[in-house]
Amino acid sequence: MVKNILILIFFFTLFGAGAQEHAWVYFKDKVGVDEAMANPETILSARALARKNKFNIPIDERDVPVNESYIAQVKGQAGIAVKAKSKWFNCVHVIGSINDIASLSSLDFVDRIFYANRSLNSKAGKSPKYKSKPDNHKNKFLTQKANFIYGQSEAQISQLKVEALHQSNYTGEGLWIAVMDGGFPNVDQLAAFSRLRSNNDLLGGYDFVGRTTNIYAPDGNSHGTRVLSDMGGYVENQLVGTAPDASYMLFRTEDGVTETPVEESYWVEAAERADSLGIDLINTSLGYSTFDNPNYSYTPAEMDGNTAFISQGANIATAKGMLVVNSAGNSGSSSWGVVTAPADANVYTVGAVDMDGTYVSFSSRGPNAQGVVKPDGMAMGRNAAVVDENNTIVRNNGTSFSSPIMAGAIASFWGALPDKTNLEIMQLVRESSSMYQNPNAQMGYGIPNFDLAMTLNGVEGQNGGEDEGEQTLDYILFPNPMETNVQIRLPQGSTTAILRLYDIYGKRILEKQITETDNQISVEQLSQAMYIVQLEMEGISKEYKLIKK
């Protein structure tokens, strides 16, 4: 009898009125929506408005801030702590006892409450309004013509052929990147970031965990500093980031000491701020699956791109025109195995390979729970060169580093095709990847080739510019797409050229001399895929994309 009483006391202590829960409290409406929509400059920066206008992204009610009066009233309720807010979802993240949180439903402006412990939600309340072993997190970090000498970063640069972008003056200039991470100690002082500081490319940021602008605290988690170095770092002759001339805004959204659902809300709030400021890309070297309290943990089946709060937020970030690059996760060798949130969402998800392009076992696998191919691409995540908080170049492992290597590369590539949308850029990068035609669970679409991506999309690469007086070669290839044969019409006044046909992996399929009378090749035996035709005349070559249907 005594034993049963003790069990009941323990149960009440653990799960009763005193136990602290996480929940999202959704509001019924917003105030001043019509006025804000009529004057969008009051809620969005000029840069954000220009980006939305350029890509025809509608401004809607989600862009209007949460009613601060509602937030104040929730804060005023007994036992409630408001930790974060979201204008996209019109909600706040609160912590309190079950009873205190439940009492918030009596407020006339509260629409519904969704508990992070999903067993506490009624069946009617399980779908968010805007649908679009618990210690895994301890391993989540694993821890002018630009003729750069890449030094220790050469392998991670050359694996993606990013040097072709840099040598064509595409170094991220004009792109704004938000970095969501766990801390950025000494970025304001380290020599590795002096190039960013000198060019006014450090745009500041915010610590959403500590609610402070002091994002460079020297005693903070150094993960974000290391991540930033793979995009924006520069140590002469020793290390070059993939987008050394982009501009960066730094947001701390991750509490490295604990793992709780509020970190998802910090991330969404930061993404909203990024959008309102006109950020182009987001890099997130974070992922969420299991929490300190197992009642909050997700399951692999819930990595469907639309269940986790952070994944829903990432989907909205993409819909708002930002390009989100996210690490796949470091769970490939664990019982979890698959990508973590928000890598399961409509974002560009990056897994890890070694310097030889071989999959590394810790890299989380795809697809997501809906069967969508994940990861979207692979970059070097074993022995990646990074700069630590002491300005020392070290080697680190993790998809945490393959993600920024890729994010900077994509930013530099977007600079070459600035009129493309975020979704178009992601697809073009996939199409340039080594396994685009045959993706798998470990590698997804494989390793992108940004030199090839430029070629496929008519961007002048290393040898693409034409010096004054250089011959202009205008070939015509038809039909394209092709079924059985391709005919090549030579430039006017030309009589012969060398044709080389390559597959997407760079393997040469055939080579042939083309003349005015022998100007056709058969492709009937080829598989349905994309191919590259290189035509060379007098030492000058041009490349064209062909589609076999």
Six-digit token pair at 458? 């008519």
Of 334, 293, 286, 338, the C-alpha closest to 313 is: 286
Whether the predicted pLDDT of 95 surpasses 50: yes
- The helix/strand count (H/E) of the chain reads as 14, 22
Give the pLDDT confidence score for residue 263 in this predicted structure. 98
Whether the predicted pLDDT of 469 surpasses 60: no
Give the pLDDT confidence score for residue 539 in this predicted structure. 79
Whether the predicted pLDDT of 3 surpasses 80: no
Six-digit token pair at 410? 């994509």
Rounded-to-integer distance, Cα 83 and Cα 71, Å: 11
Task: Determine if the peptide bond prior to 261 is cis (ω within 30°).
Answer: no
Beta-sheet strand order (sheet of 529-537): 508-515, 496-503, 529-537, 540-548
* More confident position, 130 or 435: 435
Give the pLDDT confidence score for residue 18 in this predicted structure. 66
Catalytic residue among 22, 93, 168, 181: 181
Of 451, 447, 428, 427, the C-alpha closest to 439 is: 447
Rounded-to-integer distance, Cα 493 and Cα 543, Å: 20
- Name the percent of the chain lying above pLDDT 70: 89
Rounded-to-integer distance, Cα 437 and Cα 424, Å: 18
Which residue in this structure is represented by tokens 């007098």? 538
Element (H, E) at 423: helix 422-431
Of 225, 190, 219, the C-alpha closest to 205 is: 225
**Chain mean pLDDT for the chain:** 89
User: What 3-state class would DSSP assign to 310?
Assistant: helix
What string of DSSP letters covers 163-182?
HHHHHTT-SSTT-EEEEEES
Alpha-carbon Rg for the chain in angstroms: 26
Interacting residues of 260 by C-beta distance below 8 A, sequence separation 6+ = 22, 291, 292, 293, 296
Six-digit token pair at 112? 């519904």
Element (H, E) at 334: none
The reply to whether 476-548 shares the fold of 14-30+65-125 is no
- Asked if 188 and 198 touch (Cβ cutoff 8 Å), the reply is no
Alpha carbons within 13 angstroms on the beta-carbon side of residue 458 total 2
- Name the percent of the chain lying above pLDDT 90: 76
223 catalytically annotated: yes
| pLDDT tens figures, 362-382 | 999 999 999 999 999 999 999
| pLDDT tens figures, 243-266 | 999 999 999 999 989 999 999 999
For domain 14-30+65-125, the CATH architecture is 2-Layer Sandwich (3.30)
22 catalytically annotated: no
Which DSSP category does 237 fall into? Answer: T
Catalytic residue among 400, 403, 432, 433: 400
Catalytic residue among 223, 275, 363, 432: 223
Give the pLDDT confidence score for residue 187 in this predicted structure. 97
- For the chain, the domains span 14-30+65-125, 142-456, 476-548
What are the residues facing 393 on neighbouring strands? 387
User: What 3-state class would DSSP assign to 139?
Assistant: helix
Q: How far from the centroid of its chain's Cα atoms is residue 229's Cα?
A: 16
How many residues are recorded in the chain? 549
- Asked if 321 and 55 touch (Cβ cutoff 8 Å), the reply is yes
Interacting residues of 3 by C-beta distance below 8 A, sequence separation 6+ = none
Beta-sheet strand order (sheet of 247-252): 202-207, 247-252, 176-181, 281-284, 323-327, 348-353, 377-380
User: What 3-state class would DSSP assign to 212?
Assistant: strand
Rounded-to-integer distance, Cα 243 and Cα 174, Å: 10
Give the pLDDT confidence score for residue 505 in this predicted structure. 65
Q: Please give the average per-residue pLDDT across 190-210, as a whole number.
A: 96
Q: Please give the average per-residue pLDDT across 82-92, as a whole number.
A: 98
User: What 3-state class would DSSP assign to 152?
Assistant: helix
Q: Is residue 173 exposed (0-12), middle (13-18) or buried (19+ Cβ within 10 Å)?
A: middle
Could you tell me the fold of the domain covering 142-456? Rossmann fold (3.40.50)
Six-digit token pair at 302? 């819930």
What string of DSSP letters covers 343-385?
TTSSSEEEEEE-TTSPBPTTSPB---TT-----SEEEE-SSEE
Interacting residues of 544 by C-beta distance below 8 A, sequence separation 6+ = 475, 477, 532, 533, 535
- Asked if 201 and 272 touch (Cβ cutoff 8 Å), the reply is no
Q: How many CB atoms are closer than 10 A to CB 542?
A: 18
| pLDDT tens figures, 277-323 | 999 999 999 999 999 999 999 999 999 999 999 999 999 999 999 99
If phi > 0 it is left, if psi is from -120 to 50 it is alpha, else beta; for residue 90 that is: left
400 catalytically annotated: yes
Rounded-to-integer distance, Cα 145 and Cα 395, Å: 28
Six-digit token pair at 33? 């929506």
| pLDDT tens figures, 385-414 | 999 999 999 999 999 999 999 999 999 999
Whether the predicted pLDDT of 135 surpasses 50: no
Element (H, E) at 264: helix 262-277
Burial 120-143 (b: 16+ CB within 10 A, else e): bbeeeeeebebebeeebbeebbbb
Res. 493 pLDDT band, cuts 50 70 90? confident
CATH classification number, 476-548, choose in 2.60.40.10, 3.40.50.1000, 3.30.565.10, 2.60.40.290: 2.60.40.10
